[in-house]
Structure 1
Amino acid sequence: MNVDVEFHAVIEFAVDEVASCAGDPTKAPEWYANIHSVKWRTTPLVKFGSQMDFEAVFLDRRLSYTYEVVDFEPPCRLPCAPRTNHPPWRPPTPGSRLTAAPA
């Protein structure tokens, strides 16, 4: 079964503030309820080529997957494989729009 999920949110904070949380994979369990842990495969620094393992539960199934940073334009763009076509964050005024969608 394939499941495609797309998420949009307007967050009432500046781009730099949103990026400091959402752009740090280590903080994913704080804002994404399904993600239980993140472990770095590389040095824990977000840059091109960084890799991290995610452990999550979705629809009562345990998921383990690895993301790799495939582009990095702080603070507005952090696409990770296998989702390589994330649009950049384009903040409305006021706030920041965060999009997470499948490629």
Structure 2
Amino acid sequence: MSVDVLTEVVIDRSRELVAAFAGDPTNAPAWYARIRGVDWRTAPPLRVGSQMDFVAHFLGRRLAYTYEVIDYAPGERLVMRTPAGPFPMETTYTWVDTPEGGTRMTLRNRGEPSGFGKIAAPILEAAIRRANHADLARLKTLLETR
């Protein structure tokens, strides 16, 4: 069973500011509760082919994985993929202007779990959904109080 979770938030800040902050992997620990650290494997700036090592804690487990940028349109879209591990995942961010001058940001996680993850996919999907809502709420608060 595949996992596909789409979450969105409207942030009362410009698309340029939201995309620059949320699209910089170095900032991930500031708004993702479960991400503990990010180390660049390739030198910044962000571009297609960039690779970063992430360390996270999810469902009581330490996860270490490498994301590679597979699509990047600055200020519009960022797609990263981790093909290895028990849960190969693709993460997509999109940013669009709202009529009020803010930004609608979407966060999509999708992947095809293997092994035990395949059996636990419905539980995993629900946990990802809860985490994404909380993380986007944290990002909104962080950016709107700057």
Q: What's the TM-score, normalizing by structure 2?
A: 0.62
| Higher strand proportion (structure 1 or 2) | 2
Q: Give the superposed CA RMSD.
A: 2.1
Give the equivalent residue in structure 2 for 1:74. 74
Give the equivalent residue in structure 2 for 1:44. 44
Give the equivalent residue in structure 2 for 1:93. 99
SS at 2:73's partner residue? Answer: coil
Amino acid at match of 1:53: D
Deviation at 1:28, TM superposition (A): 0.5
Q: Larger radius of gyration, structure 1 or 2?
A: 2
CA distance in 1, matches of 2:93, 2:42: 25
CA distance in 1, matches of 2:38, 2:93: 23
Q: Which runs of 5+ in 2 are unaligned?
A: 83-89, 111-146
Amino acid at match of 1:97: R
Report the identity percentage. Answer: 49
Q: Are 2:8 and 2:107, in contact at CA under 8 Å, matched by a contact in 1?
A: yes
Deviation at 1:93, TM superposition (A): 2.3
Q: How many residues align?
A: 102
| Higher helix proportion (structure 1 or 2) | 2
Structure 1 range deviating more: 29-38 or 92-101: 92-101
Deviation at 1:45, TM superposition (A): 1.6
CA distance in 2, matches of 1:28, 1:87: 12
Q: What's the TM-score, normalizing by structure 1?
A: 0.85
Q: Which runs of 5+ in 1 are unaligned?
A: none
